[in-house]
Structure 1
């Protein structure tokens, strides 16, 4: 058997150990909690991940994406031995010069084994400073003075007795609560306490090889709140695509909290994700380009933050629609726009920006439009006569052209075939600009 022990850093929150255990479940189903660490039996997973070193590097990379900072790691044939080696990482590195597994354990101090550390004072007076000294003592006398638990732990660490573990399983849905150490009056402060819950969420999603597109952060108001204030508040967060990126979720939550005001001090927060979606792992291209999934994800993360800062109505996405009128073939919707059915491509080039209402142009002596100087025709005319079903005021009888201006670039211009005689315009209008 091959066991891997994962220890969290001393200053890590208590929830990080649960996050480590969930993260380990994405590599093997045989994961258990052993005192302050997480142990995983990975002998069946080594071939899948390309060996022990590759599995360890993959685990460290996934932990970094999740926002976790795992402490020492160690390998051993038994779970207790792996935990002992992880606790004494420096001593274990120095002891690697020893050839056998037993010799490495013999060199560890008594603090590596909790059952021995409990009797450290008495064992030190007997001259025992390491596990090797403890093994050389008479077993019957050791059991009478210190109990059978010490001998059992020693035998299990060295593989002389089998170990029994309770395997961890993932919950059906993610919904965690955290009581705050003090009453929080400002919403942005909640981000500091929500980060451990976000790390657990990302580890939960990694174990399920999934992501989220929506999550909820809730808070309970203090009991001494005003009468007209409710008991709780809630903030819903949506992403443009399925993700489990810790930094992306943290930044997006921070943007929302920066624009949120608490009606009363909060004493407890909760984080939940009702819908978990499969995360599609797209193959990366050898060359960067529009098809690069990493570039698309980065763009979506930027647009999410801009949508929160500027408002949903100020970040828009262009969509094609079925219509015979050229100006009605595209529509700008709030980003992210809902999926739209496939439509026929427009018969001609569509401008990046529409000029609404169309701007009247003057003509030169040859009755050609002029805008910031003379214009050169690129393409056209494209004649349309449509829109009659929406009334006379919506009827369009136009010839569309693409003109080039030396000062303003490509322009989308149309000419009214039957201009209004009462109007003082030339019948030429600027309707769009190509970026």
Structure 2
């Protein structure tokens, strides 16, 4: 057995300079438990800590040391704060070690480690600490050395049972945690909030729970909705509340990313009346593909903000129409395979297109350059071209009207060839087919 005990940091009191509400210990512990589900399905809450049995997951994460480092490293990225992490053969022993500030409970026999811990490390023993201290007991080992019959008669069965369970002499029973199928969390604000930006401080606690819940499900989202209820002392013509829905360019559960994106949107929002309660609701939950870590050290520029997150923030500040990007379209015509659109439209509604299986030129000429001919053979720079491969027949566009074209629509009937010039340039040329307006050969692209 390999048990981990996660002891969350105590809530920090709010200050006047930072008007945030202190996190509810119950909500913080619940978020930590949901987050721990990504490492093992056997997760339970034990007093003020979260315990999980990870023996079956050690090989998946590369061994015990790698798993311990991953738990410590990713907790901060998820916005969670750990006061202590300890591991031992039993859950109660791991909790006792975490309270004592000791990490490793597997380096020596568990009896030797437990015997050296102070009385407060086990709750059942701590309840009788005053009387035990008068008997000369300072450590759990001192309590274990007392006569069991007399200890049970004077203090009941709880201290002995806790000691036996910590040492693995008695079985432990846990209620395994199961994350809910949908996420929705509420928070009653400690005071009336009139500025939308101040809501961001209170949303943090709900966002932590959301990201932890997503981590436990190995999933992500592309949208979330923040609802707020107006205070009862509002004007008559103001509604009961409002909502804000944000979308991300890709599926994510990154706390920092969602936190910054919410801040950008709330900075442009004006509340119609003071808010007294907020509610956070997740959008459609999708499986999040886990990417393999690089074998090489990360480059310095990789520590900066990812491009997708930067473009999202710019689209919020400058408007989506001023931040544009290219996207693939399902079309066989070279000039119609890509379309420039506003960044916001590349979110959940963006069309996923696959590239062509045929070679595609690096540079595209617009419009195509007509080539001269000699004995029905195309020439480039006064030299004949050598056709290497082809033809690739492209027909389409009959459904699109274009008044600028001679025939009034964008229909194409072309045979494309891969050609080699006398200067050893690889070219992409085509020959018009069945066209009453244009005949001959054209240069459409150049391969780099």
| Residues 281/296 of structure 1: CA separation in 2 closer, same or farther (3 Å cut) | farther
Number of residue-to-residue matches in the alignment: 358
For the 8 Å contact 1:219–1:268, the answer to whether it is kept is yes
Matched, 1:67 2:67: no
Contact preservation (8 Å) 2:222, 2:283: no
Residue of structure 2 in register with 1:3 after alignment: 3
1:88 paired with 2:100, answer yes
Are residues 225 and 350 of structure 1, via their aligned partners in 2, closer, same or farther at CA, if it must alter by over 3 Å?
farther
Q: Does residue 302 of structure 1 match 2:310?
A: yes
Identify if the C-alpha distance between structure 1 residues 183 and 343 changes in structure 2 by more than 3 Å, giving closer, same or farther: same
Runs of at least 5 residues in structure 1 that lack an aligned partner in the other structure: 353-377, 379-385, 398-435
Q: Deviations over 1:143-197 (max 9, x none)?
A: 2222222222222122221111111011101111112222211111111111122
Cα distance in 1 between the residues matched to 2:106 and 2:304: 46
CA RMSD of aligned residues (A): 3.5
- Cα–Cα, structure 1 residues 348 and 209, in superposed 2: closer, same or farther, change >3 Å? closer
Asked if 1:188 corresponds to 2:200, the answer is: no
Q: Secondary structure at the match of 2:185?
A: strand
CA distance in 1, matches of 2:351, 2:62: 40
Aligned equivalents of 1:74, 1:343: Cα separation in 2:
50
Distance in 1, Cα, partners of 2:49 & 2:341? 50
* Pairwise CA distance, 1:234: 0.8
Shift of 1:394: 7.0
Structure-2 separation of matches of 1:44 and 1:212: 28
Deviation at 1:286, TM superposition (A): 6.2
Structure 1 pair 153–178 and aligned structure 2 pair: CA distance change class (3 A): same
Aligned equivalents of 1:172, 1:323: Cα separation in 2: 42
- Could you say which residue in structure 1 is the equivalent of 2:243? 234
More helix by share: 1
- Out of 26, 31, 41, the position equivalent to 1:29 is 41
8 A Cα contact 1:96 1:104, kept in partner: no
Paired residue secondary structure (1:23) = helix
1:329–1:346: 8 Å Cα contact kept in structure 2?
Answer: no
CA gap of 1:74–1:340, structure 2 versus 1, over 3 A, is closer
Which stretch of the first structure deviates more once superposed, 261-270 or 341-350?
341-350
Give deviations 1:11-35, integer Å, cap 9, x for gaps.
2632222222112211111111000
CA distance in 2, matches of 1:390, 1:101: 80
SS at match of 1:281: coil
Alignment of 1:241-390 (within 5 A): 241-283=250-292, 298-319=306-327, 331-335=339-343, 336-337=345-346, 338-339=350-351, 349=363
TM (norm. structure 1) is 0.73
Cα distance, 1:329 vs structure 2: 8.0
Tell me how far 1:59 sits from its aligned partner.
1.6
From 190, 195, 211, the equivalent of 1:202 is 211
Q: CA deviation at 1:330?
A: 6.2
Does the Cα contact within 8 Å between 2:43 and 2:51 map onto a contact in 1? yes
- Residue 55 (str. 1) matches residue 67 (str. 2): yes
Q: Deviations over 1:126-148 (max 9, x none)?
A: 11111111112222222222222
Judge which range, 42-51 or 235-244, deviates more.
Answer: 42-51
